[in-house]
Structure formats: C-alpha cells, structure tokens
C-alpha cells in the first residue's frame, strides 16, 4: 500500500508530474527539463532529488551533465504514466511540454545516453 500512496503523492504535484511525463518520453538533463518547464534550476533539482530518493528516476553522469530517466522497474508508475499520457493528449500544458521536448536538443549540446 505504501508504494501506491508514494506514487500518487508524487504525481499529485504538477511540477513532478510534468517532469515524469517528460522522462516517460526521453532521458533529460536538469538544464533541458528546466528549459522545457520554464522553471528555475533549484526547483527542478529539488523535485528530481525527491523522485530519485523514492526510486522513481535514475541518474547517470555524462561528461559534466547529470541525466535522468524513469526507473522502469516500477511497473505501477509506468502503468499510471501510460494512462495519464493517454488522457492528457489534448491538455494545453502537456502539449506545450511535448512540443518543447521535440526541440530539446536546442537546449544543450551534449547528447543523452
């Protein structure tokens, strides 16, 4: 039951949900997430730290940048994100984030893993 509660707590925060939806599609560094969401680096890093502490995301250093991706071993989280994506396809914030995600390479020169 604790795992289910943790997932819903994490996804109830708009910024964390938006981060998880981005990472559902692609591994990203903090600066890319920051640019897509138009948020500050400390705010993004704080949320990523919480997601990492709960084992929702994994991090990997590539050169000077830290990249994040969803921990695919959390099957409940993946199933919920799949359902959320299906229901948000026409939601304005989600579509803007996905449009920016298509141009994510404009935000950083180093490629993800």
Model confidence band, residue 42 (pLDDT cutoffs 50, 70, 90): very high
Which pLDDT score is estimated for 110?
47
Which pLDDT score is estimated for 43?
96
The answer to the question of residue 112 being in a domain is no
Which pLDDT score is estimated for 108?
64
The C-alpha atoms of residue 17 and residue 20 are separated, in whole angstroms, by 5
Number of domains the chain contains:
1
Domain with 58, as residue range(s), is 2-107
The answer to the question of residue 77 being in a domain is yes
pLDDT digits (tens, 9 = 90+) for 50-106: 999 989 999 999 888 899 999 999 898 999 999 999 999 889 999 999 999 999 887
Q: What is the CA radius of gyration of the chain?
A: 13
Which pLDDT score is estimated for 69?
96
Closest CA to 20 of 108, 110, 92, 83: 83
């Amino acid at each position: 039951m604790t795992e289910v509660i943790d997932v819903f707590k994490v996804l109830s925060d708009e910024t964390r949900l938006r981060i998880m939806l981005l990472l559902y599609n692609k591994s990203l560094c903090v600066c890319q997430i920051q640019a897509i969401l138009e948020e500050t680096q400390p705010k993004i890093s704080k949320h990523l730290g919480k997601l990492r502490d709960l084992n929702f995301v994994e991090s990997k250093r590539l050169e000077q940048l830290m990249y994040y991706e969803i921990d695919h071993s959390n099957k409940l989280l993946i199933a919920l994100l799949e359902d959320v994506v299906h229901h948000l396809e026409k939601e304005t914030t989600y579509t803007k984030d996905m449009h920016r995600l298509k141009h994510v390479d404009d935000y950083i020169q180093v490629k993800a893993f």
